């Protein structure tokens, strides 16, 4: 039986991967720096380990992983969070002889995490994007309005999720807002704000050697939290040929290898999808793709193991999946139109959930315990601010 070590057991995407692999007969070990991570409670988790914090004690984590891979023979290590992904990509040569690491090269990950670098590369590849100002001198902030009229979005060049993003409505608000973000994330980008009514999409892909598309999936966001922009709390599977083409063009122009998700928002002013960001890892709404028929974790496993398979580019359209606890509940209470949501918040029939499952019910206990662990788990508080 094959054995896989999956890191970062707190997150919904990790639970989706554990269920995916476990249902296929893979023996899955799940690790996290806490004992109450949701994935540790899954019946598809064969073994549970608690390791040192990747953020606070990276060297101790690496020492743990060396011992783990020495004592137990794993076919594959699957890092799920960006910080873990970066650390293992940086030490790929050390671990590659004892376990497969299906990761892009370290420098490739570092480059695409920088939104400034990514947008400049995407522009050369002909990918539409919001108008953007790269600020090199704080004294030049007064000229931003000449390039782009308000409203604006200030975005850190490197951050996770909606962490650090600030919306600016009026010209006089820009200097203070920019300096505040700049104090934590030096020289963030300033972009035009795509009108809120524009629909947001994600194109997820698995690319093999030579840029071959091994799997493809597109979803549309229906709700998110915070409601001004954050992780999706309800989304559905769709087809969108234009976004599919743009996403694959961008990834192939990067010589990408592995999984990634590219986010676009359709600008209602010209009906053109505009590039928002690229996630060089598994994404939070991973469960939706699996329910719709594109099992990315298992396909990545097969590709890493050298197994041949036909590209998976067909899937069920109209499949919905929500993050009810706590994501969609938080959206409900924050949204002033909570009782007029379309689809209704109270519509449960036919909708899958990222965590809740009759087949595998116990992870929700881990989810509740995680809320209590916020009282003492500094790492978890830090990451939840970015989700």
Long-range Cβ contact pairs of 311-318 (< 8 A, separation 24 or more): 311/212, 311/213, 311/214, 311/215, 311/216, 312/214, 312/215, 312/216, 313/213, 313/215, 313/216, 315/217, 315/237, 315/289, 316/237, 316/292, 317/237, 317/238, 317/239, 317/292, 318/236, 318/237, 318/238
Quote the pLDDT of residue 148.
96
**Contact call for residues 218 and 244 (beta carbons, < 8 A):** yes
Quote the pLDDT of residue 379.
57
Instruction: Give pLDDT tens digits for 110-151.
Output: 999 999 999 999 999 999 999 999 998 998 999 999 999 999
Quote the pLDDT of residue 107.
97
Distance CA 277, CA 283 (A): 12
Quote the pLDDT of residue 147.
94
Instruction: With 0.85 as the threshold, say if the pTM is over it.
Output: yes
Residue with tokens 């234009």: 242
For the chain, percent of residues with pLDDT exceeding 70: 95
Q: Which helix (H) or strand (E) holds 153?
A: strand 152-155
Out of 22-26, 41-45, 214-218, 366-370, which region has the weakest mean confidence (pLDDT)?
Answer: 366-370
10 CB-contact burial (10 Å; exposed 0-12 / middle 13-18 / buried 19+) = buried
Cβ partners under 8 Å of residue 143, min gap 6: none
- The average pLDDT across 22-45 equals 96
- The average pLDDT across 351-370 equals 91
213: confidence class by pLDDT, cuts 50, 70, 90: very high
pLDDT for residue 186 is more than 50: yes
**Contact call for residues 347 and 339 (beta carbons, < 8 A):** no
Quote the pLDDT of residue 385.
46
Domains of the chain plus CATH, in order, are 3-103 (3.40.50.20), 131-192 (3.30.1490.20), 200-356 (3.30.470.20)
pLDDT for residue 62 is more than 60: yes
What residues pair up with 237 in beta bridges, in sequence order?
Answer: 219
377: confidence class by pLDDT, cuts 50, 70, 90: low
Quote the pLDDT of residue 170.
93
pLDDT for residue 4 is more than 90: yes
Instruction: Give pLDDT tens digits for 71-111.
Output: 999 999 999 999 999 999 999 999 999 999 999 999 999 99
CA distances from 167 to 27, 94, 158, 177 (A): 45, 43, 17, 9
Q: How confident is the prediction for the chain on average, in pLDDT?
A: 94
Quote the pLDDT of residue 214.
99
pLDDT for residue 233 is more than 90: yes
Quote the pLDDT of residue 376.
56
Instruction: Give pLDDT tens digits for 290-313.
Output: 999 999 999 999 999 999 999 999
Quote the pLDDT of residue 40.
97
- The average pLDDT across 55-73 equals 97
């Amino acid at each position: 039986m094959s054995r896989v070590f999956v890191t970062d057991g707190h997150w919904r995407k990790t639970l989706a991967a554990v269920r995916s692999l476990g249902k296929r007969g893979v023996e899955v070990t799940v690790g996290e720096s806490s004992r109450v991570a949701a994935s540790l409670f899954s019946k598809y988790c064969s073994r549970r380990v608690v390791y040192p914090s990747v953020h606070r004690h990276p060297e101790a984590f690496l020492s743990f992983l060396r011992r783990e891979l020495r004592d137990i023979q794993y076919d594959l290590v699957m890092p799920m969070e960006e910080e873990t992904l970066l650390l293992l990509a940086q030490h790929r040569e050390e671990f590659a002889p004892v376990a497969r690491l299906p990761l892009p090269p370290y420098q490739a990950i570092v480059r695409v995490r920088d939104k400034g670098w990514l947008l400049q590369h995407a522009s050369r590849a002909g990918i539409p994007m919001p108008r953007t100002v790269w600020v090199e001198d704080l004294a030049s902030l007064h000229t931003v309005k000449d390039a782009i009229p308000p409203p604006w979005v200030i975005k850190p060049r490197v951050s996770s999720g909606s962490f650090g993003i600030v919306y600016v409505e009026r010209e006089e608000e820009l200097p203070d807002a920019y300096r505040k973000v700049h104090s934590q994330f030096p020289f963030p980008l300033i972009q035009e704000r795509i009108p809120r009514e524009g629909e947001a999409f994600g194109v997820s892909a698995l690319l093999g050697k030579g840029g071959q598309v091994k799997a493809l999936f597109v979803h549309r966001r229906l709700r998110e939290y915070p409601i001004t922009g954050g992780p999706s709390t309800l989304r559905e599977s769709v087809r969108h040929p234009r976004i599919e083409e743009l996403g694959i063009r961008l990834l192939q122009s990067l010589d990408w290898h592995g999984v990634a998700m590219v986010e676009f928002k359709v600008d209602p002013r010209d009906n053109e999808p505009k590039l928002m960001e690229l996630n060089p890892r598994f994404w939070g709404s991973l469960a939706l793709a699996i329910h719709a028929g594109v099992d990315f974790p298992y396909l990545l496993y097969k590709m890493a193991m050298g197994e041949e398979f036909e590209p998976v580019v067909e899937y069920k359209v109209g499949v919905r999946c929500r993050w009810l606890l706590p994501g969609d509940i938080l959206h409900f209470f924050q949204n002033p139109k909570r009782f007029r949501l379309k689809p209704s918040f109270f519509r449960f029939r036919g909708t899958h959930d990222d965590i809740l499952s009759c087949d595998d019910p116990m992870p929700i206990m881990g989810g509740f315990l995680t809320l209590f662990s916020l009282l003492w788990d500094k790492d978890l508080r830090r990451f939840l601010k970015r989700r």
